[in-house]
Structures are given as structure tokens and as C-alpha cells.
Amino acid sequence: MGLNIQNATKTFQTRGGPVTALDRINLSIRDGELVCLIGPSGCGKSTLLNMLAGLEFPSQGQALSDGQEITGADPSRVLIFQEAALFPWLTVQDNVEFGLTMRGAPQAERAATARRLLEMVHLEQFSQAWVHELSGGMRQRVALARALAVAPAVLLLDEPFAALDALTRDRLHTELQDIWQQTGTTIVFVTHNVREAVVLGDRVIVMSARPGRIVAEHRIDLTRPRQIENVETTRLAQRILADLQLEPSTGQRG
Amino acid sequence: MTPPTAPRAPRLNETTRLWLSRAVFFALFLAVWEALFRLHLWPDYIFPAPSEVLAALGRGFSNGTFWIGILGSMRRLVQGYIIALAIGLSLGVLMAEWRWFKNTFGLLALGLQTLPSISWLPLALLWFGLNERAILFVIVMGAVLSIAQATEDGIRNTAPIYMRAARNLGARGWRLYLLVVLPSALPSIVTGMKLGWSFAWRSLMAGELLYTLPGLGNLLSMGRELNDMSQVIAVMLVIIALGVIGDQLLFGIVERRIRERWGLAPRKSTRGG
Ligand SMILES: Nc1ncnc2c1ncn2[C@@H]1O[C@H](COP(=O)(O)OP(=O)(O)OP(=O)(O)O)[C@@H](O)[C@H]1O
Ligand SMILES: [Mg+2]
């Protein structure tokens, strides 16, 4: 599913007056592309993802999926929220099954899907755990499994791996790329981590601080699978950091 | 600060000490009571000995009058509470979802909530006569508004993030309501249910005092009429015990469990020692 943002501006009305989160954004993402979005905190990355998910609408301009204006949420475009947003009244397994339950899928199919995905995120022993018993990183992995369960055409990820240790994160990078290559899902991946963006993305879009604008775009032509500690990766990461005009320490949060 | 490293004398653990001090307090309390009784400052029928109260308790339970009273009161309480729950939940959902209803009926509810529910008794007596239904009405009026209020609050404050996540995964209509909105409101609803239960309990006791069918309140008035202070105190102890069981054990535990699971209570941490 291809995505298009056309001249979109998003203004929030707040008590302190209007806040322009996004300013005339133009962005087009091909079907099956993996695009990383990077930019300083508060530049409107989450707002942009919400717009693509159909949970937020542009004040001006348009957001389109396959040429159709996005008018609301739809399980074909699933967003993984920055704060996981699992349902605490459901077990881990029931959380993963939630989207399938809404679709009316039979119990056996739901259970099989949940088992497969929980194994993928290495949480199969936690299928009957409650959300409050999980760590932040574990919650993010469950949220990933919950999103993948509905086999969306578009996967929108909002800093999903920020709370993870390097080892788990590398493993999930590999898993995500495998899924992406197998399913042809269109992926938009928001991150603060330049290296992560370089390892995952076909393209890296750099945004400026508020109001959020697109200031640069990098095509990443490295062959996959890519290594996070590699000369090429590092060189590209340095170039993108220069665009961000940030100190490496602020650019590499997470 | 670093914890002291010198070996400390072995100490009783916290729980044991807590219960020990409680035991000491109640032993002292009984001793003072008994001592006051032995001084015979007041006639025995006004100020009975602890042992007499204990005997009255034993008598009440062995001859069955207390059991009959408890059963009578509990049946009334549960009946009234179930009715209050059904009405309260419905009103809460209506107030949360229908702005006009909230703006109109909500105002009325706000006013009525300040009315102690026993004030409904004269009206109920005129409407229903001196019978079970009058007292049931008072119980319902005592519990219904706090349940409605808490339900409305809970639904209105459904975390937007849950709504977004659910809609994003394809939840719509009644499924969204049943599987996301209501569960998300549950901690607030349970708090309202607990409040409603204790209001219902208080209304019931007040109502039963003026009442002649089997019940704890009735046992209290009977004790008074017979000038039997030990029975009065014994019945009061039973009422306290039931109140504690309902409030603290039943609802308290459910409420804590839910708040913990919903991530609203701090996680249990083990204290270092
Ligand atoms: N619902 C809202 N109401 C008012 N202002 C909002 C709202 N959502 C976002 N904003 C504002 O829009 C701007 C962009 O927010 P957004 O969450 O998209 O940033 P972000 O790039 O995701 O930041 P971070 O990297 O810290 O997550 C911020 O200045 C924020 O204050
Ligand atoms: Mg964000």
C-alpha cells in the first residue's frame, strides 16, 4: 500500500495558542518501502504517524493511502504507539489476539497466530502474563506482535525499540526486516537513533525541529542484511547526523 | 547513605510486631473496660462487663436469633444492592454517552447525592407502606447515585490511548464499548460499587432500626426495649464484623487487585531488611 502526504500542515489549538506541529509536509512512500523518519523531539514525528494511521487529520493538505484520502483508522494500517498502549485487562496472549478477535477469526487461528508471533519476539513463556508484570521493552515487543497479528499492509512504528538493550534490538531489527521482506509490508519507522535508521531504512527522512519540516532525505543503498557496527553504516550515520545539526549524543537517544 | 554494616541484634519481623502491638492494645482495652465495670460506677444494665457481651454473642448465635437477623439483613442488602447496581450502571452509561441526559439528570443526581438516604424513608413509607419494599427503596437510593457517578467518570476518562489502539486494530461499535471502554472504566466502577455497598449497608441499618421484620437493626431496637445492653453491644459487634468483611475483604481486595492489574497502583516492592 503506497502512502502520500500532500502539502500537509497540522496545527494544534492549545491553551498557549496554536502550535504548528507539521508545516507543509510532502512525502510519498512506495508500496513495500521501508522508510525511517528521524528528527528532534517534538518535531511532529508521532503526529505524522498518527495522520497516516487515520487517528489524526491534517489541518491543511491531505494524507492518502493508495490514492484514497485517509478518513479514519483501519486495521490495514496499524500504528505501534510510542507508549505500547497494551490493554491491561487482557493477558499478553489476548492482547496479541485482539485485532483478530475484532475481525471474528476462529479461536484456533488466533491462538496459532499469537503463539507464532510471541515466539518471534521471544515472549512465548509470558503468554499468560498480565501487562503490569512486563518491563517496558517487553511491552513494546508484545505491541509489535499485536500489530503484526492482523497482517497489516502498512506498519507504522513509533520508536518501538527505544527501551530495549542492544542485543534484543539487533535481533528485532533482523526479525522486522525478515517480516518486511516476506510480506512486502510498507513500513514507516520513527526513531531517534541514526544508526538504527541507516540499518533499517531504504530511505531516511530527516525532519527539523518545530514546526516539523522535511529538511533532507537519504537513500540507503547498502546491501541487506546490514550491520549496525560497520564502516559504511557509520559513515552514512555521520552524514545524517550532520543534517540533524545535533550533537551525536542527542541524536542517539535509546 | 550506606546501610549500617555492623551485625544487628535479631529483630522480630515487621508483621509480627504489628500484630503483637495490636494484640496488646486490644488486651488493654478489654482490661480497662473490665476494670471500669468492676468499679460499678454505672448500673450493670447500662455498662455490662466484656464477659457479658461475649455471653450475649454466644447466646445470640446459639439460639439462632443472630443468624436469622444476619440472613434477613443480608438478603435485603443483596436484593437492594443488585437493583441499585443495575440502575446505577445504566444511568452511568447514559450520563457518559448522552450529553443532554448528563446536563439535566446529572444535575438532579448531584443534588440528590447530598441527601442522606434515610431521608427517603418517610416518602417510601407513604408510597409503599410499612413493608420490605420501603426499606429496599431506601437501600437502592443510598447506593444508586454513587455507582452511577463512578461509572460515568470511568467511561468519560477512558484513556484516549486505549481507544486509539483499539480503533486502530479494527474495534468498532458495541465491541469497542464492551471490550475496551467498560474494562478501561472498571477501576472507577469498582470504587463506585464499593462506595455504593457501604452506603447501602448504612441505609439498611438505619432503616431496620425503625422496622419490625427480622434483621440486625431490629435486634438492636429489641435490645434497647429489653434494657439489654450486652445484646445491643453484641449486635453492634456483629454489624462491625459484617461491615469489615464487606468493605475491606470483599471490595477492598477486588479493588486493589484491579488497580494493580490496570497499572494504577504502585507495584508491590519487597522491603529490604
Ligand atoms: N494532541 C495534542 N495537542 C496539542 N499539541 C500537541 C498534541 N500532540 C502533539 N502536540 C504538539 O505537537 C508537537 C509535535 O508532537 P509529536 O508528538 O508529534 O512529536 P515527536 O516528534 O513525536 O516527539 P518525540 O520524539 O518526543 O516523541 C509537539 O510540540 C507537541 O507539543
Ligand atoms: Mg513521538
Residue B247: what pLDDT? 85
Using 50, 70 and 90 to split pLDDT, how confident is the model at B43? confident
- Give yes or no for A180 touching B (CB within 8 A): no
Across the A:B interface, residue pairs with CB atoms under 8 Å apart total 67
Ligand 1: which atom is nearest the Cα of residue A49? 18
Alpha helices in chain B (DSSP H): 14-39, 50-62, 65-97, 99-113, 121-128, 132-156, 160-168, 173-176, 182-209, 216-225, 229-244, 253-261
Lowest mean pLDDT of A86-95, A128-137, B261-270, name the range. B261-270
State the angle between helix axes of B182-209 and B216-225 in degrees (0 to 180), rounded to the nearest 10.
Answer: 20
* Residue in A79, A87, A101 nearest the CB of B168: A79
Domain that holds residue B215: 50-260
Residue B7: what pLDDT? 54
Question: For ligand 1, which residues put their CB under 6 angstroms from it?
Answer: A 12, 14, 19, 21, 41-47, 82, 210
Residue-level length of chain A: 254
For chain A, first and last CA: distance in Å?
Answer: 30
Assess whether pLDDT exceeds 70 at residue A250: no
Q: What percentage of chain B has pLDDT greater than the value 70?
A: 92
Rounded mean pLDDT of A105-113?
A: 93
- Give yes or no for B167 touching A (CB within 8 A): yes
The Cα–Cα gap between B251 and B196 comes to 11
Element (H, E) at A48: helix A45-53
The answer to whether the CB of B160 falls within 8 A of the CB of A83 is: no
The answer to whether the CB of B171 falls within 8 A of the CB of A73 is: no
Give the model confidence (pLDDT) of B85-136 as tens digits. 999 999 999 999 899 999 999 899 888 888 888 888 889 989 988 888 888 9
Lowest mean pLDDT of A9-13, A46-50, A241-245, B76-80, name the range. A241-245
At A47, the amino acid letter reads T
Give the model confidence (pLDDT) of A68-88 as tens digits. 889 988 999 999 988 889 999
More confident residue, B2 or A145: A145
**Is B82 inside any structural domain?**
yes
More confident residue, B45 or A5: A5
Delimiting residues of CATH 3.40.50.300 domain(s) in chain A: 1-76+153-221+233-247
Residue A247, Cβ neighbours under 10 Å: how many?
9
**Is B18 inside any structural domain?**
no
Lowest mean pLDDT of A143-147, A246-250, B55-59, name the range. A246-250
The Cα–Cα gap between B125 and B138 comes to 10
Could you tell me which chain A residue has the CA closest to the CA of B183? Answer: A89
Q: Which CATH superfamily is domain A1-76+153-221+233-247 in?
A: P-loop containing nucleotide triphosphate hydrolases (3.40.50.300)
The CA dihedral of B25, B26, B30, B32, to the nearest 10 degrees, is: 20
State the angle between helix axes of B182-209 and B253-261 in degrees (0 to 180), rounded to the nearest 10.
Answer: 170
User: What is the nearest CA distance from B167 to chain A, expressed in angstroms?
Assistant: 6
Residue B5: what pLDDT? 53
Using 50, 70 and 90 to split pLDDT, how confident is the model at A251? very low
Phi, psi values for residue A21, rounded to 5°: -85, -40
Instruction: Write down the ipTM of this complex.
Output: 0.85
Residue A249: what pLDDT? 37
- Ligand 1 geometric centre to CA of A210 (Å): 9
Using 50, 70 and 90 to split pLDDT, how confident is the model at B248? confident
Ligand nearest to the CA of A10: 1
Give the model confidence (pLDDT) of A9-56 as tens digits. 999 998 988 989 999 999 999 999 999 999 888 889 999 999 999 999
Question: Which of A138, A137, A139, A152 has its CA nearest to residue A85?
Answer: A139
Per the structure block, which three cell numbers stand in for A74?
A: 483501519
Domain count for chain B: 1
Ligand nearest to the CA of A191: 1
A68, β-bridge pairs: A65
Ligand 1: which atom is nearest the Cα of residue A207? 21
Question: Which CATH number is B238's domain given?
Answer: 1.10.3720.10
Phi, psi values for residue A10, rounded to 5°: -125, 120
Give the model confidence (pLDDT) of B159-215 as tens digits. 888 999 999 999 988 889 999 999 999 999 999 999 999 999 999 988 888 877 788
Residue A186: what pLDDT? 94
- Give yes or no for B260 touching A (CB within 8 A): yes
Residue B250: what pLDDT? 87
Residue A253: what pLDDT? 39
**Is B165 inside any structural domain?**
yes
Could you tell me which chain A residue has the CA closest to the CA of B262? Answer: A88
**Is B169 inside any structural domain?**
yes
